[in-house]
């Protein structure tokens, strides 16, 4: 019996040996304005109920009839759908019927395990089951694969870039090999911010894909909008509008259902970025209230406290931004303390169970403990302060003092700089107290150690 092991060899290919080709489009609503490319992944995101899945089902329906604008126009294509959150009998099939899909061209995919006469179905997970997807693509020749919702169908943590990459890179490789359009449906995090940073989970969701479509509804006009925030193969990043009209669908047996049908309306000057940030400004209090309610429940454990890094990770998973959670912390009057370890942690305490003493564990003096998370933007020293650290020049001392004065106005009297403390290279944020989360303190500590 031979012991076969994988062997990795260097592979070199001359550019002259590679045959160039034109990028093909799965969906090209306007000539020269491709939106969803073939042979790679497109990420689709928005808040729940914005029409993301319904719009993708409409494209699948047009493709099943051979009426999808793009390089596959005229071909009646197959679509495979993994997931979704919605029920097939009561939601998916009625919506597809409302979109006039050829249902023989739309496939639900799952896995069934048989053992000793019994069978059991289970959901597909990536990257574990990518071989089954290849088998289905190869057998049925599908040109569209929808994964909905993508974060729920991956192995690992959606907030970790490496987990996202290891889960979906093999599937993207299949899209390239068989030249189909891979659609990954995700959600938005709560609050405002740029569309680029609104995707729930790791930044890898956006980095992996070649097209990113963000969906939102304009509450003022009632229009639904999606913007192409990323498009590696297109010249222009446009926004488009559509409506969801209500249509009645015959379910058979004398029953009918009212479902949403996409009415695509073409280009618009409105953008999703404008919509979500306007809504975020109007609903800032609501978002903070939601975060405050969540934070209070999270801290309501046996210890009535939790480490800040644990809280932030859990909050990101729930779609709350760090800035929103900080506002919620302030509104609830959540206090914090620092542990006595060599690498101290910041601990947030339930409002009903504040820390016994705000003890500065570095100096042993009672007093307010600075939570470095709230001054992250100030811990990176300016060029002038770097010069002070390196050269101890009078100009740098003055700059450090001036910078601290501005910070004191904004954050309270954290430290009163003097010529003596400046000559001793004290951190303008923490004085001589060594905070391990502070860049400046770390720089001073490193210099003293050397």
Q: Each residue of 127-176: pLDDT tens digit? A: 989 999 999 999 999 999 999 988 888 888 888 888 989 999 999 999 99
Q: What confidence tens digit (pLDDT) does each residue in 366-387 have?
A: 334 444 444 433 344 444 444 4
DSSP assignment, residue 343?
A: S
Question: pTM for this one?
Answer: 0.62
CA neighbor of 44 nearest in space, from 272, 221, 268: 272
Report how far residue 422's alpha carbon sits from residue 130's, in angstroms, rounded to the nearest whole number: 60
Cβ atoms 221, 265 nearer than 8 A: no
Average pLDDT over residues 184-197: 78
| DSSP codes joined into one string, 367-417 | SPPP-GGGGGGGSSPPHHHHHHHHH--HHHHHHHHHHHHHHHHHH--S---
Query: What are the respective helix, strand and coil percentages of the chain, to the nearest 5?
Result: 40, 20, 40
Residue 2 has a pLDDT of 57
> What residues have CB less than 8 Å from 276, skipping those under 6 apart?
188, 192, 193, 195, 198, 216
């Amino acid at each position: 019996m031979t012991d076969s092991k994988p062997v990795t060899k260097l592979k070199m290919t001359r550019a002259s040996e590679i045959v160039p080709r034109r990028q093909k489009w799965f969906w090209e609503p306007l000539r020269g304005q491709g939106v969803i490319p073939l042979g790679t992944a497109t990420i689709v995101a928005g808040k729940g109920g914005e029409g993301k899945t319904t719009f993708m089902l409409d494209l699948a329906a047009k493709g099943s009839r051979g009426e999808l604008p793009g390089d596959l126009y005229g071909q009646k294509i197959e679509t495979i759908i993994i997931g979704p959150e919605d029920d097939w009998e009561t939601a998916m099939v009625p919506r597809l019927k409302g979109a006039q899909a050829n249902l023989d061209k739309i496939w639900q995919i799952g896995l069934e395990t048989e053992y000793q006469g019994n069978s059991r179905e289970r959901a597909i997970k990536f990257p574990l089951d990518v071989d089954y997807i290849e088998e289905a693509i190869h057998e049925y020749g599908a040109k569209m694969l929808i994964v909905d919702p993508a974060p729920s169908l991956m192995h690992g943590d959606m907030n970790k870039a490496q987990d996202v990459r290891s889960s979906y890179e093999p599937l993207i490789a299949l899209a390239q090999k068989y030249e189909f359009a891979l659609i990954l449906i995700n959600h938005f995090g709560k609050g405002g911010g740029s569309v680029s940073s609104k995707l729930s989970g790791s930044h890898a969701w956006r980095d992996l894909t070649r097209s990113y479509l963000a969906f939102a509804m304009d509450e003022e006009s009632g229009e639904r909008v999606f913007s192409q925030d990323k498009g590696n193969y297109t010249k222009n990043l446009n926004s488009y509008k559509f409506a969801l009209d209500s249509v009645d669908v015959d379910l058979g047996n004398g029953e009918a259902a009212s479902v949403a049908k996409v009415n695509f309306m073409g280009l618009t000057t409105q953008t999703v970025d404008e919509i979500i940030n306007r809504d975020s400004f109007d609903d800032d209090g609501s978002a903070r209230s939601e975060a405050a309610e969540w934070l209070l429940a999270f801290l309501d454990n046996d210890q009535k406290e939790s480490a800040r890094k644990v809280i932030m990770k859990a909050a990101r998973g729930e779609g709350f931004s760090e800035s929103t959670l900080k506002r919620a912390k302030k509104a609830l009057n959540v206090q914090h303390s620092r542990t006595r370890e060599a690498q101290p942690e910041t601990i947030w305490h339930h409002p009903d169970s504040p820390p016994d003493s705000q003890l500065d564990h570095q100096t042993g003096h009672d007093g307010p403990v600075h939570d470095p998370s709230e001054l992250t933007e100030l811990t990176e020293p300016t060029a002038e302060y770097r010069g002070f650290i390196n050269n101890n020049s009078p100009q740098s001392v003055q700059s450090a003092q001036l910078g601290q004065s501005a910070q004191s106005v904004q954050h309270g009297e954290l430290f009163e700089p003097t010529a003596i403390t400046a000559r001793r290279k004290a951190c303008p944020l923490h004085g001589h107290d060594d905070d391990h989360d502070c860049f400046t303190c770390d720089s001073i500590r490193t210099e003293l150690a050397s």
